[in-house]
Every structure is written in structure tokens, then in C-alpha cells.
Structure 1
Amino acid sequence: MADAALRLTALAEDLLGTPLPVRIRAWDGSESGPPGAPVLVLRHRRALRRLLWKPGELGLARAWVAGELDIEGDLYEALDLLAGLLWERGADAKDAVHPIRNPVLRTAARKLFAIAGPFPPPPPPPEELRHRRGMVHTKHRDKKAISHHYDVGNDFYSLVLGPSMVYSCAYWAAESPDSTLEEAQRDKLDLVCRKLGLKEGMRLLDVGCGWGSMAIHAAREYGVQVTGVTLSVEQAAYARKRIAEEGLTDRIEIRVQDYRDVRDGPYDAISSIGMAEHVGSEQYREYADDLYTLLKPGGRLLNHQIARRPERDESAYHIDDFIDSYVFPDGELAPVGRTLSTLEEAGFEARDVEVLREHYALTLREWVANLEKRWPEAVRMTSPGRARVWRLYMAASALSFERNRIGVNQILAIKPEEGGASGVQLRPRRWN
């Protein structure tokens, strides 16, 4: 009798001590679990072997990327239910999926072997970045990490991000809550320009310039001279093409260059939008010092950065295995308070902090919708595994922002002039 789903459900509920909130459909056609709930589809026994050999998040991610595990029904609902079951129940729940820490799981593992078959561990899907060598956040290793994430095809990014080609959270202004993604991204770029106080003739350094959207907006709308730097060869080529089509080659220079190698300051303003997450906690002070040196006195920095919630014990902080292996290799998130402190230690004065957490959740849902709408094209442009990585990563990230597990903040900081003048006008805060 086909009963793999029933056996797996019973095993999981015994282990976790709670009913499963999702249904399971196994490779043998059997189903078990609450009717009407999202369905966790196990297409192959190999998905179980991945969990046996790599318990927890990475094993699940490998099965998902390989197409051995899928979800039918509302993806967001399923991820939310599974997150509450596995990732939000504290240390006890994490120990529950680790056989060394939980002897009960050793017994469960023997039962799983009986279902999955005692075969060697399957090789990770090819989309996973492996065999990283050398110290973290050297220039060479950072370049390879950036290439893994960004050099997957400009056409693919265009499909996901839409015409704006902005890969950071959009800004839905209160005056226009029903804006399209493209309008909201334009409003975000303009918000950055206004915070930086850009005026014609100024020099702007755009650190991590991506596909050139910020550089183009600042040059076209505010008449500034822009230098954009990125480590992605594909991004730079795309940005230069866009700039030429806009007739802005005399105002914008795009370099494939590490920000640590920029030496032609001082600049009047610096924008760093969605780039500092790649810097790493050990190098963050160097990042702040370098940007401080590159600004003229009175110059402004706009740092737009994802932040995590602080841990009670910061030594227990663990980088997400799925994100590190498949999405942002060597990326690190820091609490916003630590970022502010580091900028101040470098000499900056923080003048404004704006939280855009809900804006990023909306942005990610728009990107997921773009991807799902044109799924066959996305698969052709990259690979089935890569498209699955992005769908899972963006949907799970949207939920993380909505549930306040992570946030995103714009910090406006200045390099004070001699005597302490900020050059920032007094203005009232507007609150609804």
C-alpha cells in the first residue's frame, strides 16, 4: 500500500510535538494532512536523503532547488506556516532537526532511511556556490561572490525587476499608494537625490551602481556628474548601454571597480543603495572610513541597507545557509544600531533614519509576481534551479520583512564642516 505521506506525517508530528499545518503528497501518490492546506510535494525520495545528510534549512533548500520538493497552493501561506513550525520556535526547534543535539532524531533518522533508502548523499544542485577559498571579503573573493549573484543574465534581471532595473526596495509615497512598481522605484531614486541635496554641477559617487538607474536619474533630473562603481561586468555593460541611449555619456562614468580602490575624491555626495550588505561586519569600519575620506566637508552619504534584528547573544548569530549558499555568498546583515555607531565612529553625523520595511515587502511581492507571470522565459534564461532559487528567496524575504524579522533603512549622514555646520535645512517631520 502506498503510505509514504502518512508515515512521514506521523514521523514529523512525533518529532515536533505538534500537528503539521500542511499536507504532504509523496512520490508514491499518497497524501496526508489537513484538507485545504497548502501541499508540500515530495517528488522523489532523494529529497528525504538530502534532509538526512544535511538536516535543517540547507537540506530543504537543496531539495527545493533540485525540484524534488515543491509547494502547491499559496506559496506565502505555506512558507509562513513552515517558518512558524521550524524557524520561529527558538533553539529547541532548531535542535529538533539536528541529530547530534537530539537523540530522538537519531531514531527518526533510522525510520527515514527505511523510507528514503540508505544511499550516499546526493550532490548539491549546480546553482550552489561551493569550494570558496581564502579569507572572507578580500577583493578577489568579493568579486567572485558578486559575480555569482549578479552575473546570471541581464535579461533575467529585467524580467524580474521590470523596466526600472532597480534592485532595492521601491518607495510607495503616501500621496500615491497605488503606484506601479516602476513609479515607486522612480520615487525611491528621487527620494535619495532629494536627501542628498543634489544640485547641478555636483559630483556624485554611486557605490554599487547596479544597472545604472540611480546614476541616470541623478544625472538626467539633477544635472550632476556621476561616477558609478560595480564589481559586476554584466551590470557595467548594461549600464553603459543605457547611459549611451539616454545621451548621458558626458555626465556618467561607470567603472568595474572595488569601492576600496576609488581614489578620485572628494565627492559632493555618495549614494550606497543595497550595497553595504556585501561588505561584511569585519570590514564595515573600513567601508565607513573610505566613504568618509571620499566626501568633501559638508558632503552627504545616503546609506540604504537591509538590517537584521539584534540577537540577545550576538555570538550566536548565524548567517542563513540558503542565502549564503545560493543567493548572497558571504553577505552579512547587521542591526541598524551597529551601522549607525560605525558610521559615527568614522566621523559621520547621522541626520536622518527612515525605515522602509513594509516598502520592501511590497517590492518583493511585485518581483515574485513578475517571475511567476513569465516563468517559462525565466527558466530558459537561466536554469530551472536558478529560477527556483529566486522564487523561494524573494517570497521568503517578503514574509521576513512583513513579520519584522528583517528591516531596511535609509541613513542620511554628513561629513561635518569645520565648526560643526551641517548644511542641512531645518524642516518639520510629517507623520500621518
Structure 2
Amino acid sequence: MADAARRLTALAEEVLGAPLPVRIRAWDHSEAGPPHTPVLVLRHRRALHRLLWKPGELGLARAWVAGDLDIEGDLYEALDLMAGLLWERGPAAQRQSKAAAALKALRDPAVRSAARTLIGLAGPALPPAPPREEARRVWRGPLHTLRRDKEAISHHYDVGNDFYELVLGPSMVYSCAYWERPPAEGGTLEDAQRAKLDLVCRKLALRPGQRLLDVGCGWGSMVLHAAREYGVRAVGITLSQEQAAYARKRVADAGLTDQVEIRVQDYREIADGPYDAISSIGMAEHVGSARYAEYAADLHALLKPGGRLLNHQIARRPEPDEEAYHVDEFIDRYVFPDGELAPVGRTVAQLEEAGFEVRDVEAIREHYALTLRGWVANLEAHWKQAVRLTSPGRARVWRLYMAASALSFERNRIGVNQVLAVRTPEDGTSGMRLRSRDWLG
């Protein structure tokens, strides 16, 4: 068969109800579709087989991670062009209806028969095994228990500190940077991450001798910066053994073991409050909607009256029908198992319901797009080494996840916000200056 690409293109356009914006190259080396565009490469018939078994995003994700599906050309352009088929046309209800129509077409017996003929399937066939990088649901029980959260965090973070060094760079900060100058004007990822850490410290009004709790401390960058630059005594907690070991070495190398403690601990297990300030940077996405009220209440209880919380968190856009919201399958299976995003309004409301007074909300989504593009550039520049340190599939997961996320921030499909909240005492003295944004300089 020397015309698989032409037949694939016709089948895809029938399913999608729109012309394909990218070119296709099939396993038989045939090509079809518009010239001078990125090329969607189906290296193996198994890519289509995966889509037949799991129509939609999960089937495509498995094909990508396994290497059955690839893109030649500009990855960002290809993702942007293909996203426009389903997710960016018209209002939300229309976008959802297009996605639903495409999935329905993939399940149509005639379409499935044509696809099976194209890949040479006759009679019953077993589904292709998922790539080994997919999260194995070995845990049971309700979401966001102590054990389940620890295993979910391990899936994402315990993949090798050397790998994360390649992607994140020397800062080892895995959250949105704060770009005072964009890359086009000479700004660097390292400068932007340092600026973010310092911005958090200034928003928290840290002073020498105060106690800081950093929830989800990662590789220790925030506690190190706060101790070194602001003289605080800091406790960083993480559920990742690999992160904790790395952070403890950094603390020892910096000569700060008398100021900084790193624990493998869940925020629900902390019993040595109160603290003067709490930072939670890129951690609350793991909490889950069912546990968020508990999270907010626990942090409120751990703060002294007058203490500040800086909650740095990714947010999704509100859905017309919130009951219909579902977690992204690719992210859930391959990146952040059990992770959930909430609209910023809900986050603010739940913090206030826990007793906090929210004093400032800063939206910085464009900063995250620049950060993610920096991480993708690091990964691509060290691709062979990244593959050796993890696996080809794991490297492909991170490349797709970060590139697609950069576009999501750029297109305002998701955002990220720093919420500054105070445990205001009963007498109402918040400790905030009249010019509350004095950290802006």
C-alpha cells in the first residue's frame, strides 16, 4: 500500500469535519496534505491502532509517547494548528460539541472499519500495551489520601535529579519565573527565577529571625534564597525523596544547615506551627478540589496572627457547566496524576472561607509561557543526554507537555496567579502598608 497518507488524510478530514492543517507522512513513506507546513509522521500502523482503542487525546498521547507518532518541523506551530481544529473555534459550547462530534465519528462502525482496513487489522485484535511511562494505578481508594498523593508525586518528581537539572537549569526552580526583561531583551531564565523568588520574599515581607514554611519546596531553591537573602529560619517540605536528598545537599553546601530544614512530609502532618510566613509555589495544583478547603484551613492554622501566605497556583478558565469539567487525560496519565486545576475565583473564595484576608492577586500567565519555552529549549538542547538519563518516552512526555502548556498560557486557556493572603488578627491590623504593592519598587 503506497497511498496510506492520502487515505489517512481523507479519513481524518471525515472525522474532523474540516481540512487538515498539517501534512501527513505515513509508515509507507507516502505523504499528503498542505505543503510548507509541519509534518505529522505516523511511523507505525500502531499509531492508528492506539487511536482506535482509545479514541481522543489518550490514544494520541500513547502514540506520541511510544514514538509511533512524531512531528517534523516547528512543534509549537504544529500544536497550534491542530488545536484549532477542536478547541479554539467559537464559544465553549461549540468547542465541546466539535470535540464530541469528532469522538463520535471515531466510534462510528464505518470509520472504524476503514481504519482497520488501512492498518491491516482483520478479526479481533488485542490493544497495544500502553507505554511504560504511563502512571500505573497501583494505588486504590479515594483521591488525595496521604499515601495516594505521595505515590502521585513520586511518579512526576522521582525521575532523576540529573534530568531536571538539564531542563530547569542551575536554579532548579520548577514553577513560573518572573521576567523583568523578556529573552528578546536579554533576560535569562536564571535571572527570571531569581526575580520570582525575591518577589515572593518581598510579598511575604520576610525579616531576619522569622520562621518560613515552604509547602512543596521542590529542590530547595525558595528556602535557600529566603535564608541567604532575608535571614529567615526556613522549613521546606516535599513528598519526593529524591527532591529532599538533593535539597539537603544544597543546604549543606551553602552552609545553611542551622537555618534550613528539609522534610519529607505532607502539609497535613505539620504540627510545629505557628509560622510567620508560608509560601506555596506550584504545589496547590496537587491538592485537589475535594481537599482544598482542608488545605486552606491547615495553612491558616499554621500561621501566626498577622502572618502572610503567598499561594502561587495555575488556574483554569471557568466552565459553562462546572460539573462537566474533566481532568486532561494526557496530563493525568503521564505528567501529574490526580492533579486538578480550579478557576482563580474559587481559590480566592476558599482561602477567604478558611479565614484568610486576600490582599493581592497578580496574574502572570505570560511569564509562564516564557518560562516553559525556556525549559523546552533546554530539553531540546540536551536531548540525547535527557533520553539517556530517563527514557525516550519520558523525554517525549516532557517535550509535548511543556510545549503544549506554553501555548495554553499564550492563548489564555490557562493562567497562573500569585495570591497574597493574611491571617488578619481580630483587631483588624493586617500589617499591610497603605501602599500595599510596595514590593513593586
TM-score normalized by structure 2?
0.95
Look up the SS of the partner of 1:296 in the other structure. Answer: strand
Note if 1:23 corresponds to 2:23: yes
Asked if 1 retains the 8 angstrom alpha-carbon contact of 2:241 and 2:264, the reply is: yes
Note if 1:122 corresponds to 2:128: yes
Note if 1:109 corresponds to 2:112: yes
1:13 CA drift (Å):
1.2
How far does the alpha carbon of each residue in 1:210-240 deviate from its partner, in whole angstroms, 9 at most, with x for none? Answer: 0000000000000000011000000000000
Count of residue pairs the alignment pairs up: 429
Counterpart of 2:42 in structure 1 is: 42
Aligned AA (1:351): R
- Give, in whole Å, the separation in 1 of the partners of 2:71 and 2:181: 35
1:117 CA drift (Å):
2.8
Counterpart of 2:409 in structure 1 is: 401
Note if 1:296 corresponds to 2:322: no
- Give, in whole Å, the separation in 2 of the partners of 1:216 and 1:106: 59
How far does the alpha carbon of each residue in 1:88-117 deviate from its partner, in whole angstroms, 9 at most, with x for none? Answer: 34122222332xx44883311110000123
1:179 CA drift (Å):
1.7
Counterpart of 1:76 in structure 2 is: 76
Say if 1:16 and 1:270 are closer, same or farther in 2 by CA, change over 3 A. Answer: same
Counterpart of 2:62 in structure 1 is: 62
TM-score normalized by structure 1?
0.97
Aligned-pair Cα RMSD in Å: 1.5
Aligned runs of 1:72-221 on 2, under 5 Å?
A: 72-89=72-89, 90-98=95-103, 101-102=104-105, 105-118=108-121, 119-131=125-137, 132-173=139-180, 178-221=186-229
Asked if 2 retains the 8 angstrom alpha-carbon contact of 1:97 and 1:105, the reply is: no
Say if 1:298 and 1:78 are closer, same or farther in 2 by CA, change over 3 A. Answer: same
Q: Which runs of 4+ in 1 moved over 6 A?
A: none
Asked if 1 retains the 8 angstrom alpha-carbon contact of 2:15 and 2:106, the reply is: no
Q: Which ranges in structure 1 are unaligned for 5 or more consecutive residues? A: none
Aligned runs of 1:226-375 on 2, under 5 Å?
A: 226-375=234-383
- Give, in whole Å, the separation in 1 of the partners of 2:111 and 2:101: 11
- Give, in whole Å, the separation in 2 of the partners of 1:85 and 1:6: 19
- Give, in whole Å, the separation in 1 of the partners of 2:182 and 2:164: 29
Say if 1:353 and 1:78 are closer, same or farther in 2 by CA, change over 3 A. Answer: same
- Give, in whole Å, the separation in 2 of the partners of 1:112 and 1:194: 58
Structure 1 stretch displaced more, 407-416 or 16-25: 16-25
1:150 CA drift (Å):
0.2
Structure 1 stretch displaced more, 166-175 or 143-152: 166-175
1:174 CA drift (Å):
5.5
Aligned AA (1:373): A
